[in-house]
Structure 1
Amino acid sequence: MILSLQLFSARNFTPYTKIIASLGALGYNAAEGYFGNFAEANETRAALDAAGMTMPSLHVPLEMVETDPDGVKTLAKTLGVSRVFAPWLHPDHRPTEAAGWRAIAARLVTCHALMAERGLAFGWHNHDFEITPLADGSVPMEILLTEAPMIDWEADIAWIVRGGGDPVDWITRHGARITAAHFKDLAPAGEKADESGWADAGTGTMDWPAIHAALKAHSRCEILVAEHDNPNDFARFARNARASFQAL
């Protein structure tokens, strides 16, 4: 399992080329890209190469996978990406009933085929809203995994907790689908409000030794992706996440 870092965490501390250089100096193996890196793909790849890093995974909007699969292939080739994850649904596009989630799953089936035809693995990255049960008791993430049985899952562990789930239970039941996971953490209730309640990976309330052990025992997770959705000090977060990973 290699350590990566989601560059979304650094969006307030750009340029990304400088961020990537600093990650390489800290000993990171890889970075995970997102739409903020698309316009500078060539520069991003050059920075990764110079830092001795790779970009095995990339977040790509679902609509781009659907409408421009060749563009995704070109982007992936430039960055050296082998795994594409669709990462999010705008609140206006999130179904409130199971039928709507089955329709999302059908789109994911199509996207998987489009990416497979182009030599890329494809999966979904969760937030909290896929974990929280709907009014009828069904759980969106369960629907996606059941109705789109060929897709991978990049499990965002802290969002599972924020959605009311038990991460070890989810990993135990669905680990065969997990090929990457987000390494992030939650601050104690009422703390770190200036960082939206997030903590540096491995320093908060989550039992990462148990979670890491579950990932190793029950999943196909190849990439642990450090992330902090709103750090006020990126360098601190990157250092702490690296140290926590080494301690696991």
Structure 2
Amino acid sequence: MDRRTFLGSATAAAVMTQFSWAASQHRIEKIGLELYTVRDLLKKDFEGTLAKVAKIGYKEVELAGYLSDLPNVNPPVKRVKEMLDSDGLAAPSSHVAYNMLSPQNWPKVIEASKILGHEYIVNPSIDRELTKTSDGWKRAAETFNRAGEESQKSGIQLGYHNHVEEFKALPDGKLPYDILLSQSDPKLLKMEIDLGWAHEAKSDPLAYFAKYPGRFPLVHVKDFDKNDMMTEVGSGVIDWKAIFAKADVAGIKHYFVEHDQPMMPLESIQKSYSYLEKLRF
């Protein structure tokens, strides 16, 4: 092989290696925001706040408790849909209170969700009295199965969002999160795992992804620093690359940034967005 041929082959090999490396890198195509993060701003200016969220670059949002006020929601459901469309935002999901899963309230939630274009309706906590025992969590799983079956008739998937307590052992030693996963129908109840709260509970999301593959289509992307203080995504200690590298196993489709108590909400969501936009895994 002469020098020219060698150099040509070496260059081609380098290009192919670089291409293969780039092709193996994944990114979040549509970064979402849990609107609880900007709840105070929404109360003052719902339309203007959505526009600012979209301007930062967010493509998806998750409504926080909005549908729990049905039928007296403000702004009206159809008006919110118009705002979302105007800003180029999709709203794949919404959080609703546990009482809204009742046979009396659930049809109203489903109907409003269809107007908003929701794919998921997520419950973020069950009744306090049910959280004390395994039987209480089993009863909640039964409620989720019933509500999930009903919502699927309209093409909407039910989900559950965790906090820390789901990973704390009950008096009989069982974990509430394990009870929900094992006692609910995997087709009727999916999980929106809050990765920040799972971290604070010292729970391993990767272990859950491996044990229950495809069960986690939604995630809350929430970060904590070394002092267990909530911070912007990428400014804390959570290894996002390691977690998101298993996105296919988990079944993750939607990523929602969340910060419960940001000092400056818009600056906070901008910083988190900038980190995730550059993240490759």
Look up the equivalent residue of 1:5 and give its one-letter code: L
User: Is 1:247–2:278 an aligned residue pair?
Assistant: yes
Q: What is the CA–CA distance in structure 2 between the aligned matches of 1:245 and 1:22, rounded to whole Å?
A: 18
Q: Are residue 74 (structure 1) and residue 111 (structure 2) matched?
A: yes
- C-alpha contact 1:105 1:148 (8 A) present in aligned 2: yes
| Equivalent-residue separation in structure 1 for 2:65 and 2:135 (angstroms) | 29
- The aligned runs of 1:82-161 (5 Å cut-off) are 82-90=119-127, 92-149=128-185, 150=187, 151-161=189-199
1:171 matches 2:209: yes
**After TM superposition, what 4+ stretches of structure 1 lie above 6 angstroms from structure 2?**
none
> Deviation of residue 133 (structure 1)?
1.7
Amino acid aligned to 1:170: Y
Q: How many Å separate the matches in 1 of 2:209 and 2:195?
A: 9
Aligned to 2:50: 20
SS in 2 for 1:5: strand
Is 1:3–1:225's contact at 8 Å kept on the other side of the alignment? yes
Q: Residue 69 of structure 1: CA displacement?
A: 2.1
Q: Is the 1:59–1:85 contact (alpha carbons within 8 Å) kept by the matching residues of 2? A: yes
Q: How far 1:166 moved relative to its partner?
A: 1.7
Percent sequence identity is 24
- The Cα shift of 1:34 comes to 2.0
Name the Cα RMSD after superposition: 1.7
Provide, for residues 60-99 of structure 1, a one-character-per-residue CA deviation record: whole Å limited to 9, x for no partner.
Answer: 1221122322211221122111111111135x33422212
| Aligned equivalents of 2:234, 2:79: Cα separation in 1 | 31
Q: Which moved more, 1:233-242 or 1:159-168?
A: 159-168
Match of 2:66 among 36, 40, 53: 36
For 1:84 and 1:35, how far apart are their aligned partners in 2? 11
How many residues align? The count is 240
1:5 aligns with 2:33: yes
Letter in 2 for 1:208: W
Measured against aligned partners, the alpha-carbon deviations of 1:133-185 in whole angstroms (never above 9, x if no partner) come to 22322111111011002311111111111223122222332232101100110
Equivalent residue, structure 2, for 1:198: 230
Q: CA deviation at 1:240?
A: 1.2
Distance 1:160 1:171 in 2: 13
- Amino acid in structure 2 at the alignment position of 1:174: Y
Query: Counterpart of 1:220 in structure 2: which amino acid?
Result: G
Question: Per-residue displacement from partner, 1:97-144 (whole Å, max 9, x unpaired)?
Answer: 212211111111111112112221111111111111223221111110
Q: Can you give the 5+ residue segments of structure 1 that lack an aligned partner in the other structure?
A: 191-196
Query: What is the distance in 1 between the residues matched to 2:225 and 2:66?
Result: 27
The 2-side partners of 1:170 and 1:43 are apart by 39
Gaps of 5+ in 2: 1-27, 68-72
Distance in 1 (CA, whole Å) between partners of 2:168 and 2:53 is: 34
- 3-state SS of paired residue (1:12): helix
Query: How far apart in 1 are the matches of 2:140 and 2:66?
Result: 24
**What amino acid does structure 1 have at the position aligned with 2:59?**
N
Letter in 2 for 1:70: P
* Contact 2:66–2:95 (8 Å) recurs in 1: no
The secondary structure found in structure 1 opposite 2:244 is: helix
Q: Is the 8 A contact 2:126 2:140 kept in 1?
A: no
Aligned to 1:227: 258
Deviates more, 1:31-40 or 1:57-66: 31-40
Residue range with higher mean Cα deviation, 10-19 or 106-115:
10-19
| Larger Rg belongs to | 2
Report if the CA contact (8 A) 1:8-1:36 is conserved: no
Native 8 Å contact 1:132 1:164 kept in 2: no
